[in-house]
Chains A and B, each alone.
Chain A
Amino acid sequence: MDGTATRTDGGNQPKLPIYLDYQATTPTDPRVVAAMLPYFTEKFGNPHSTSHSHGREAAEAVEHARLQVARLIGADEREITFTSGATESNNLAIKGVMRFTGQKHRRVVTCVTEHKCVLESVKRLGEEGIETVLLPVRANGLVDLDLLAKALEEPTGLVSIMAANNEIGVVQHLAEIGALCRSHGALFHTDAAQAAGKVPIDVEAMHIDLLSISGHKLYGPKGIGALYVRRRPRVRLEPLFDGGAQERGLRSGTLAPPLCVGLGEACAISAAEMGTEAERLRKLRDRLFKGLTAAVPDLALNGDAERRLPGNLNVVVPKVDGLTLLAEVPELSLSLGSACTSAAVEPSYVLRALGMPDELANGSFRICVGRFTSDAEIDFAVEHLVDAIRRLRGKGAQA
């Protein structure tokens, strides 16, 4: 057992509110915090100051972290660039590849359910005169490989398809997509913010050329991420920032050693515990889904049931408004979809892309369990969600 304060033993009332939004962010693992702390205080050196031991100590820590990140995805440490997070990694990968001088094929392919930062980066390239292609997804949220193959008949510079979706948690066929891109001479970028550390990823086996990682989605700190950039054959990018040419010129700016160390440690823990953790989360998630459907038989899952992150549920409750439902259960931290767009009261573009009508998309919400979720919390969540749904439907029936 991990012994964190939020865990309680079965049967007891869990500590409230209960966090069930692990795809928005995760708490930093206490082991990660412990690894980071010395680099704020006694080991505070600038990793780029190589003329003294303070600097070299920080540089060694950063390089060790780089290796830990690389190992999670089967990469070489020289292929890892630290960034501020997945948004920056995605911008750097997509704009960087397509803006690189001499890029042969001025065409980029992505899909409609990508994170906003991917869609907006692609849109920006469109404004710069690059041809952009937005692939639809099937009703289960997965990219249709035949459509992708068709799109690749035109010479394409870059394909960007996310590894796992941030709302519905579906895991794309990365190896198949990578193989298609490779055989058509297109580079393959994947936004693995949600997938890294949750499902196995191997950049060699999957023919991935660029891959984005976010620290705070895998129990690391916020404010750090990484971009994997293939060395063989070499993938080249135009940097977003001008400056001191840190990170091999790809990302100027002084690195934050505590954050790098935190990301590295988080990756190492995830790599070591992924198998057992996935199994535990799948059980919790299934217990949750079974509990809900037993009481609310018409509650249904959005997105593919099998190719899915172990901790993700995204469900629709017909004839119930999602936002109203969430307001009925203040003891539970849940969200409708992605945190980035949760301020906007409009149906999720991801669910719409699955072909869901607005009233069903509006009746959908996301529940994500994670490393510190307990059985007692699941049981509490089921009980309160079912009560709330019954209350709302009772009201609706009377009105």
Chain B
Amino acid sequence: MPKMTFIKTDGSRLEVDAPLGLSVLEIAHRNNIDLEGACEGSLACSTCHVIVDPEWYELLPNASDDEEDMLDLAFGLTQTSRLGCQLIITEELDGLTVSLPAATRNMMSDK
């Protein structure tokens, strides 16, 4: 089974199983990783924003306009930012590494 690695905000790394066809958001939730995904993958928020390791970024299919529109609103956006719900694991992505950003923007949970 493919694997992928999450780098948490404290810098610690966690390698987990990455079943083919699952999204990075779904994999995060299966492993109790703190990635929100408030809209559950319907491209209505940017709370599952992840920063893709530059080496892996080029291998990803391009973001759709809808994903880019949501990324416009993401906090701490970078050149290799993507939404976790749109990254689907394939054989090619075995070893994918993403970092969790320092903060998210969720109007419901922010105080």
Contact = CB atoms under 8 A, between A and B. Distances in A.
- Counting contact residues on chain B (CB < 8 A from A), the size range is 10 to 19
B33 interface: no
Interface string A288-315: 0000000000000000000000000000
B76 A249 contact: no
Interface string B56-98: 0000001101001001110011111100000000000000000
Interface stretch (A7-15, A62-70, A100-108, A386-394): A100-108
A248 B69 CA distance: 9
A231 interface: yes
Contact of A102 (B62, B65, B78): B78
Contact of A101 (B62, B63, B68, B78): B78
B107 to A, nearest CB: 11
Contacts of B71: 234
Contacts of B77: 100-101, 236
**Pairs of residues from A and B, 6 with the lowest C-beta to C-beta distance, nearest first:** A102-B79, A102-B78, A101-B78, A234-B68, A248-B72, A249-B73
B65 A231 contact: yes
A231 B51 CA distance: 20
Nearest to A248: B72
Interface string A101-117: 11110000000000000
Identify whether the interface residues of B are mostly helix, strand, loop, or mixed: loop
Nearest to A78: B69
B80 A102 contact: yes
A232 interface: yes
Contacts of B76: 101
A100 B68 contact: no
A238 to B, nearest CB: 9
Contacts of A232: 65
A230 to B, nearest CB: 11
A245 B77 CA distance: 14
Interface in A215-272: 231-234, 236, 245, 248-249
Interface in A91-131: 100-104
Contacts of A234: 63, 68, 71-72
Interface of A: 100-104, 231-234, 236, 245, 248-249
B79 A100 contact: yes
16 contacts: A101-B76, A101-B77, A101-B78, A102-B51, A102-B80, A103-B79, A231-B65, A231-B68, A232-B65, A233-B62, A234-B63, A234-B72, A236-B72, A236-B79, A248-B72, A249-B73
A233 B64 CA distance: 10
Contacts of A249: 72-73
Contacts of A248: 72-73
A198 to B, nearest CB: 31
Contacts of A101: 76-79
Q: Which of A101, A232, A245 has the most CB of B within 10 A?
A: A101
B66 to A, nearest CB: 12
A236 B79 CA distance: 8
A236 B62 CA distance: 15
B60 to A, nearest CB: 14
Contact of B79 (A104, A231, A245): A104
A233 B65 CA distance: 9
Given A100-B79, A249-B73, 19 more contacts: A100-B77, A101-B76, A101-B77, A101-B78, A101-B79, A102-B51, A102-B80, A102-B81, A104-B79, A231-B65, A231-B68, A232-B65, A234-B63, A234-B72, A236-B72, A236-B79, A245-B73, A248-B72, A248-B73
Contacts of A245: 73
A104 to B, nearest CB: 6
Interface in B31-72: 51, 62-63, 65, 68, 71-72
